[in-house]
Amino acid sequence: MSDGPTVIRELQRARRRVEVLLELLTEVARAVERGVPADRRLYELFRERRELGARDRRFISDTVFSFFRWWGWLEAARIGDPVAACLIAGSMDRALPELERRAMAEMTSQTEAVGRLPDLSGRPLAEKGRLLAAVLELSGPLTPRQLFPEWFWDEVCGPESSRREELRLRVAESLQVRPPV
């Protein structure tokens, strides 16, 4: 990609979009901690921020919900940098727009790791866990069990059975798929 004046201008817009993403993600996370549904708080924030266009809202909402969808793995991997967390989570669900991905990679403190991050969208859950663990140089793979709290597994998957692990994987895979728009 050539870095002519148009690309530089678009990259600046992408950086601003990422900055706004981080501001809104912080607000949504605070609301969730207080028991407010994430989608309701994000809707309110979009109504307050009328300057955000459709492209901005789409990128922000997709990334915010990817962040929450993959929170279990982000926490297990100890991703403390919110930009890296958004970049990783967004890459799990879809190919991020090139300029936003580039802006996020430039803004994160974990530049080396995210630079090695392949497109993880469309891959099976177990493969995503293995690849992400390898990129982040974790001691073991990330597992579906880490995506949800322990009570979830007991409630959803029922009592012990020979097929319980298979059921867990199927449930986790179905919940980690980005809903169609």
State pLDDT tens for residues 8-26: 899 999 999 999 999 999 9
Instruction: Kindly indicate the confidence band of residue 171, based on its pLDDT and cuts at 50, 70 and 90.
Output: confident
Please report, rounded to a whole number, the percentage of residues in the chain having pLDDT higher than 90. Answer: 54
In the predicted model, is pLDDT for residue 181 greater than 70? no
Instruction: Kindly indicate the confidence band of residue 159, based on its pLDDT and cuts at 50, 70 and 90.
Output: low
Buried-exposed string 70-95: b where 16+ CB fall within 10 A, e elsewhere: bbbbbebbebebbbbbbbbbbbbbee
pTM of the model: 0.87
